[in-house]
């Protein structure tokens, strides 16, 4: 059987995101991991974390997601090779599941060490407000906004099950990211609306129009993606900046 190779870098990215969507559709644990990652990223906005702590936290979350995807890939390959029970096939699946368990334990330990100081502060302050301040770094909030928008788009595509990750489907990811970036410029550079925000808005509109003109998305998918990007970014900046 001939092996089909990716002809372009774009098709490589598209197929990679197809893999993420497949895992989200078929694996309950992956959906749980995504929701937990989403929640932890939001909670981290309330805490006075250092850049090193943020880096370690994101790294731990990423490791769990990567190992879960590798576990799913191993299961798919084994199911492709044999449909009958075999002790070695079962052992391979168990080993892969064990790797996921190790990654989850590592993430739990990292989260415990990072968040324990805030839990102790909460207890020692006799139930006073733990949330000392919100992370006010525009760079950090921008990163969180884009991550939350991308996660929301991937979850939306996995729910509606239409189109491919980078070509079609509900909502439009390109539209969501483009208008999220435009909204970020409004908050980060409020004094340079004409210089920065207007050109970025025009570019965002062109991104949406191009996806619709090429037939990749319809107007409803483009507008929904745009609204999603603006809404999520606005909520995060309003709450945490």
- Which positions are catalytic? 68
Q: Which of 114, 15, 19, 12 is nearest to 68 (CA)?
A: 19
Q: Which of 100, 35, 42 is nearest to 70 (CA)?
A: 100
- Residue partners of 80: CB distance under 8 A and separation at least 6: none
Token pair in block for residue 164: 């491919």
Distance CA 14, CA 31 (A): 20
């Amino acid at each position: 059987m001939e092996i089909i190779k990716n002809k372009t870098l774009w098709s490589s990215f598209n197929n990679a995101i197809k893999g993420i969507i497949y895992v989200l559709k078929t694996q309950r644990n992956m959906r749980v991991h995504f929701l937990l990652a989403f929640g932890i990223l939001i909670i981290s906005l309330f805490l006075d974390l250092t850049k090193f702590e943020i880096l370690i936290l994101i790294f731990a979350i990423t490791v769990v997601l990567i190992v879960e995807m590798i576990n799913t890939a191993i299961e798919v390959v084994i199911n492709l090779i044999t449909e009958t029970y075999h002790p070695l096939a079962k052992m391979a699946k168990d080993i892969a599941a064990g790797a996921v368990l190790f990654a989850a334990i590592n993430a739990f330990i990292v989260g415990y060490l990072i968040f324990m100081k805030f839990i102790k502060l909460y207890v020692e302050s006799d139930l006073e407000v733990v949330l000392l301040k919100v992370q006010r770094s525009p760079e950090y909030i921008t990163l969180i906004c884009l991550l939350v928008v991308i996660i929301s788009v991937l979850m939306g595509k996995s729910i509606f099950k239409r189109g491919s990750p980078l070509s079609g489907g509900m909502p439009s990811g390109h539209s969501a990211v483009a208008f999220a970036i435009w909204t970020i410029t409004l908050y980060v550079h409020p004094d340079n609306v004409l210089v920065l925000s207007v050109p970025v808005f025009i570019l965002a509109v062109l991104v949406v129009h191009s996806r619709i003109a090429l037939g990749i998305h319809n107007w409803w998918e483009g507008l929904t993606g745009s609204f999603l990007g603006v809404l999520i970014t606005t909520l995060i900046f309003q709450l945490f900046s």
